Structure 1
Amino acid sequence: MQTAHATTRPAAGLMLAIILVALNLRPSMAAVGPLLSAIRGEIPLSFSLASLLTMLPVMAMGLAMFFGLAISQRLGQQRTVLVSLLIIALATLARLFVDTATGLIISAVLAGIGIALIQALMPALIKSRFPDNVALCMGLYVTSIMGGAALAATFAPRITVQTASWRTGLAIWALLAVFALLVWWAQRRHLRDSVTLAAKKEVFARNGRAWLLAIFFGLGTASYTCVLAWLAPYYVEQGWSEENAGLLLGFLTAMEVISGLLVPAIANRSRDRRAILMTLLALIIAGFCGLVLSPQQLSLLWPCLLGLGIGGLFPMSLIVALDHLDDPQRAGGLTAFVQGIGYLIAGLSPMLAGLIRDRLGSFEWAWWSLTAVMALMLLMVLRFDPRHYRRHFSPAS
């Protein structure tokens, strides 16, 4: 009995540390949208330029999927997370002192590098440390990422009002990174920096199905990054206060958390995920249509639909990729490729929406564009018939 407790305690402590680390992977992006009008009041920042504050960290996530694991093998898992949290903390704290658009963008890129290294490493770390509970622990990890976005979107405007400084609203999240760093450091005895043996690399870039999965993940995540960047500014333009617009984005991300926990559990009942995917895409389409056609009426319903759709689509896109291969190492390599390409695609959406806003004077055309993208994804879902998965990938040699 004592042995079971002895092994359970370090595992619970490590999972708590992972949750705290995950909470730090979105605040540097999620805090910007609700405060954008206050930032633009002091710093000359077009919507296209402001889009870089979300776009560049997301692009860094994509690039890191291709080299992040190699870095963690060189530094070790524990040191990689410590260094990454330190980068996030310093980049976020630096926002207390920025007074130019360039300074803000540099802080976003640096935070993005820290975020990217953790995101590349963490699924492999969870798989190696919690082999019997991978689905549960991945669910907690992904939900914590969304929870961090909800915290920042909800409280950044309130902190700004209390302190009369948008810089404090952006920079205060450095404290969360420092706290996570200290808890992670306390886990060092249970985190021996074992070097994982590199598996023979499979070249997924030559596989058409791998590209279809990557584009599907990228287009779905594009709706997430665009909403994260522009939902709050859209409602500020509709006459809402920054605080209320931030609360609305916080509500949306809370819906994402709920959906991210529930949908994978529901989907486990069947290997055919198409009905679930179509339902999630229909929710997102309804949410975007509502944002354009009736933003003031039923204003809680549209973020609710978007949050439930987007929150479920993110883990389900990865689960569908994992379904294609039985071997865990090959499946891990496929999901790294899918996320790498996918985040590069998703990173473009905030910039394109910012350009649309600068040219046409409204975000409505960005929401319509995303509606069309979701409709295209409905057609892509038809190709995810589990009976045909095996023929898309040659057997492992």
Structure 2
Amino acid sequence: MAEQQKKSTIGLMVLAILFVALNLRPAISSIGPMLEPIRADLDLSNSEVSLLTAVPVFCMGLFAPLAVLFGRKFGLKRSIAMLLVAIGLFTLIRGFVPTYPVLLASAFFIGLAIAIISPLLSAMIKRDFPMRTAALIGVYSFGMGLGATLSAGLTGVFYTVADWPLAIASWSLLSVAAIIIWVRVKQPAEVKVEETAIDGVALVSPWKNKRAWYMLLFFGFQSAFFFSMLTWLAPIAIEKGMTVLAAGGVLTLMTAVQIVGNISIPLMFNKFPSRLAWILIVLAFGTVGIFLLMFGNVEAIWIAAACIGVALGGLFPIALLMPLDETTSADEANSWTAMTQSGGYIISAFMPLTIGIIYDATGNHDITLLLFLAFIVLMVIFSLLLNKKG
């Protein structure tokens, strides 16, 4: 009976992590399909409307260090619950007050909430599943990928039966579902001891550790690779001769392969634990994908998208696991994760814009593809440095 209750508790916790992760992308990725209706309806410039997706990503980097303060002040479970409420409310308000200032303010506060919740969720996985961190990080990254894919694909469908404010506000329902499940999660008995004890403990700052900086840079370039591909793969495919519809299919294929990789690759970590080997394998797929974009024909773009999806599907959970592999406690994992995501997301926030500026100046994506190769080379370098202990 006790064993059955334990399995039920673990199952509920896994489901809760999945639903929390589902909430970490839709408020951002649902804006993309609605950029043109929003721009036209509110009479905005392209730069003004682009801030609605740029601001939350930048906030995800800028405010990640606040996760340490939230974890110590309110505890992990309560902090995540409060932040889920914030994401839901600021997503919902877009449907009732669809003005540009409100959209921009909601983008800011949603980005802030996501910035704080992400390291807290990693810390909770480290604390409650110390022997299953890889599998649970897989669930976490799968949930994020699934949330982004669903919102990017279905927001346009919602728009066909309603207006754009309702289409983007509808994703607040996900937070309601997550909160209902999250408040039912039971915490281990030792949690209160740990969370009160850490108030007086002075941990060594990861900002003074070179390995933490390698992780930050690895996270930054894998995130830059993801956001740049998400933004520019379809335009690259169109430049190579694809129709707009086919280019959208290529992007869908990439994200579909990615979310399968998010859940399946971490499940193999227990049998094949070498992080460096996995990084080199998935980056090899990414390299093949980029070379196909450079030198392949139009049909090869589909294979390129699948290869890049494999790379993205493996890189994100590996980047999430790095601070957890390095640390021994939930509070320490929270600090390291906050640092890596802080600097990492700030790096990635500027990359799609940088590519856009280069494209405006050159009129082609040759330099874009070279930048993607540079991201891969840098990730190889930092993973090799991390493989050296000490």
Quick check: TM above 0.5?
Answer: yes
Matched, 1:66 2:65: yes
Paired position in structure 2 for 1:137? 136
* 2:197 matched residue in structure 1: 197
State yes or no: 1:57 paired with 2:59. Answer: no
SS in 1 for 2:180: helix
> Which stretch shows the higher mean deviation, 118-127 or 73-82?
73-82
How far off is 1:295 after superposition?
Answer: 8.2
Q: Distance in 2 between matches of 1:374 and 1:131?
A: 30
Q: Does the 8 Å CA contact 1:222/1:346 hold for their aligned counterparts?
A: yes
Provide the C-alpha distance between the structure 1 equivalents of 2:263 and 2:311, rounded to a whole number of angstroms: 12
- Correspondence for 2:385 among 361, 377, 383: 383
Aligned to 2:84: 85
Matched, 1:181 2:185: no
C-alpha deviation, 1:222, in angstroms: 0.9
Unaligned ranges ≥5, structure 2: none
With 289-298 and 109-118 compared, the bigger mean Cα shift is at 289-298
Pick one of 148, 168, 176 that aligns with 1:170.
168
Kindly provide the amino acid, as one letter, of the partner of residue 122 in structure 2: P
* TM alignment of 1:1-397, pairs within 5 A: 2-45=1-44, 48-97=47-96, 101-163=100-162, 165-185=163-183, 187=184, 194=192, 195-198=195-198, 199-231=201-233, 239-241=243-245, 248-269=250-271, 272-291=274-293, 296-324=298-326, 333-357=335-359, 359=361, 365-385=367-387, 388-389=388-389, 391=390
Q: Distance in 2 between matches of 1:292 and 1:99?
A: 42
Question: 1:166, CA displacement in angstroms?
Answer: 3.2
> What TM-score comes out, normalization by structure 2 length?
0.83
Q: How far did 1:190 drift? A: 5.3
AA at the equivalent of 1:349: M
Moved more, 31-40 or 169-178: 31-40
Is this contact kept in 2: 1:54–1:347, CA < 8 A? no
Distance (whole Å) between structure 1 residues aligned to residue 266 and residue 12 of structure 2:
25
**CA root-mean-square deviation:** 3.3
How far off its partner does 1:219 sit? 0.7
Q: Which runs of 5+ in 1 are unaligned?
A: 392-397
Q: Is the 8 A contact 1:232 1:245 kept in 2?
A: yes
Distance 2:359 2:35 in 1: 14
Quote how far apart the aligned CAs of 1:223 are.
1.2
Alpha-carbon spacing, 1:17–1:381, altered in 2? closer, same or farther (3 Å): closer
Which letter maps to 2:214? L
**Secondary structure of 2:203's aligned partner:** coil
Cα pair 1:84 1:114 within 8 Å, conserved: yes
60 and 278 in structure 1: CA distance in 2 versus 1, 3 angstrom threshold = same
Q: Which amino acid in the other structure matches residue 273 of structure 1?
A: R
Q: Does the CA-based 8 Å contact 1:54-1:225 persist in structure 2?
A: no
Residue pair 2:25, 2:147 contacting (<8 A) in 1 also: yes
Distance verdict in 2 for CA 1:180–1:314, change over 3 Å: same
Displacement of 1:257 in angstroms is 1.8
TM-score relative to the length of structure 1: 0.82
The amino acid of 1:35's aligned partner reads M
CA-to-aligned-CA distance 1:198-221 (integer Å, 9 cap, x gap): 243212323333222211111111
* Greater shift in the superposed pair: 325-334 or 104-113: 325-334
Decide whether aligned partners of structure 1 residues 236 and 162 sit closer, same or farther in structure 2, where only a CA change above 3 A counts: farther
Aligned AA (1:350) = P
Taking a change above 3 Å as real, the CA distance of residues 19 and 321 of structure 1, as seen in their structure-2 partners, is closer
Aligned length: 383
Contact 2:155 2:167 in 1 (8 A): yes
Give the Cα–Cα distance (whole angstroms) in 2 for the partners of residues 178 and 286 of structure 1. 41
In the superposition, relative to structure 1, how do residues 375 and 38 fare at CA in structure 2: closer, same or farther (>3 Å)? farther
Residues 161 and 245 of structure 1: CA distance in aligned 2, closer, same or farther (over 3 Å)? farther
Contact 1:274 1:382 in 2 (8 A): yes
